[in-house]
Amino acid sequence: MTDMNTSATGAPKRPTFLTVLCILSFIGCGLGLFSGISGYFTAKAMDNGSMGKMMEGLSEAAGDAAAADSMQDGMADVDKAMDALGMDFGAMANNSLAQGLLCIVVLIGVFMMWKLKKTGFYVYTASNLAYAACPFIFMGGLAGGMMGILGAIGPILFIILYGLNVKHMS
């Protein structure tokens, strides 16, 4: 007869709540990795002035010089607004890449917790705190602050929920 906390093989049994958290984290890490990589390439393209070139091409295709001037003025206004918010596409690219790579470290921590290793909780916590700090570090300003604060809500919630399950890990 087996104990309720162990499986038939004698290994400790993973609680259902921890299993659900890990599955959600596996999905989140996959999405975060994809988002980080795609965000990097998108921000790099924007940093190289592709938006201005695209608008220029659209106005040329329309064949209207007034429309071209209007679009260029509009893009200048967008650039001014981006600067006022402290948004720099190069910094955004670096932020996205760093966050994407940190998702791999988060994934390692989740996998360790899946295997009921307490060390995974510490890896998960440290990498998520670094993930949340990336916008502050790379972007700064109002945009970095807002992204950092809003981006920390989910990880902090999951850290607390995983913390409730540390007692099941060795």
pLDDT reading at 6 higher than 70:
no
pLDDT digit string, tens, across residues 119-152: 999 999 999 999 999 998 888 877 788 888 998 9
pLDDT digits (tens, 9 = 90+) for 75-102: 666 666 666 655 678 888 899 999 999 9
Q: By mean pLDDT, which of 30-44, 84-98, 101-115 is the weakest?
A: 84-98
The token pair that represents 108 in the structure block: 């390692």
Higher pLDDT residue, 117 or 81?
117
pTM comes to 0.75
Q: Which structure tokens are listed for 91?
A: 């910094």
- Band of the pLDDT at 50, cuts 50, 70, 90? low
- Is 52's pLDDT higher than 60? no
156 CB-near residues (< 8 Å, 6+ apart): 128, 132
d(CA 118, CA 165): 9
Cα separation, 95 vs 42, whole angstroms: 12
The CA distance from 59 to 157, in Å, is 47
Distance CA 39, CA 110 (A): 23
Report how far residue 113's alpha carbon sits from residue 164's, in angstroms, rounded to the nearest whole number: 12
